[in-house]
Amino acid sequence: MDKSPLISLKSISKKFKSSAKVSVEDIEILKDVDFDIYKGETIAVVGASGTGKSTLLHIVGTLDRPNQGRLLFGNKNLFDLDADELARFRNRRVGFVFQFHHLLQGFTAIENVMIPCMMGSNLSKKKIIANSEAILERVGLKHRIYHRAEDLSGGEQQRVALARALVMNPDILLADEPTGNLDKNNSIQVHSLLVELNQELGMTLIVVTHNSELASLMQKSVTIQDCKIVDVVGKNSNEN
Ligand SMILES: Nc1ncnc2c1ncn2[C@@H]1O[C@H](COP(=O)(O)OP(=O)(O)OP(=O)(O)O)[C@@H](O)[C@H]1O
Ligand SMILES: [Mg+2]
C-alpha cells in the first residue's frame, strides 16, 4: 500500500442550520476531523444513527462542503476547485452507491451504466459500450444488459448501480448503506462483490453501514461519535 494518503481530511468541521423554530443554534455534526485514506484500502464507517456518517461520506465525495477544513487529494485542497473542476473530479475519480439505486427509469441497464462515461470521458461510443457491458457482466448481469431498470429485481438494480459507479474506474468508491434495501441473500451477494471488486480493481472502498457482516469484511472500521472519529480498528497493523 502507498505510503502517502490518497485523500486526507484536515480539521474538517460541519454544522447544519437547525430547522427547528425553537432553536437558533447551529447543530454541530463533525468537529476537527482528521483522517487519512489510502489507496486500495477498505473502510467501514460505523456509529449510531445521526452521528454524521453520511455527512462525512458526502464531504469525502465533495457532494457537500465542510464549514471548515481541507480535503487534500495529492497537494490540492479539493474545496479550492471551482464547480466545474469539482464535477470533473467526482466524475473521473469517485463512484457513489447509495441505499436507493437512483437508476433512471425507462432506460436499460447498459444505458444507465453508460451515462457517466458519456458525460465525462473522451472514449468512443463503441469503447463505452464495451466497458459498460464488461462491468455489467462482472456484476453478474450479462443476461440483463438490455432490460429496463424498472423491470429488474431490487438486487439486480443495486448491482447496476454498482456497475455504474465503477465504469469510470474510480480511485474511490463511496457506498452509503449499499445493501440497506436488500434482503439477506442479495445483501450477501453485493457484499462479496464489493470485496472482490476492490481486490480486482484496486479502488479504495468506504462503506457506511449498520450491517455488521459488511463492516466485518472491511480492513478498517472507523467509529463516529460526538462529532469525532473516536475509534479506528484496523486488521492490518502496518497501516497509518
Ligand atoms: N441538510 C441537512 N440540514 C440539516 N441537518 C442535517 C442535514 N443533513 C444531515 N443533518 C443532520 O445531521 C446529523 C447527521 O446526519 P447524517 O445523515 O450524517 O447521519 P448518519 O450517521 O448517516 O445517520 P443514519 O445512520 O441514520 O443514516 C443528523 O442529526 C441530521 O438530522
Ligand atoms: Mg446515513
Summarised one tens digit per residue, pLDDT across range 28-44 is 999 999 999 999 999 99
Q: E-assigned strands of 3-116?
A: 7-16, 27-37, 42-46, 68-73, 76-77, 94-97
Nearest ligand 1 atom to alpha carbon 177: 27
Closest listed ligand to the CA of 176: 2
pLDDT given at position 235: 77
Residue ranges per domain, the chain? Answer: 7-234
Nearest CA to ligand 1 atom 26: 49
pLDDT level of residue 24 (50, 70, 90 thresholds): confident
Please state which of the four CATH numbers 1.20.1250.20, 3.30.930.10, 2.30.30.30, 3.40.50.300 is assigned to the domain occupying 7-234.
3.40.50.300
- Do residues 186 and 15 make contact, with C-beta atoms less than 8 angstroms apart? no
Digit-coded pLDDT (tens) for 156-191: 999 999 999 999 999 999 999 999 999 999 999 999
The residue whose C-alpha atom lies closest to atom 3 belonging to ligand 1 is: 16
With a cut of 90, say whether residue 236 has pLDDT above it. Answer: no
Nearest CA to ligand 1 atom 31: 50
Neighbours of 24 (CB within 10 A): 8
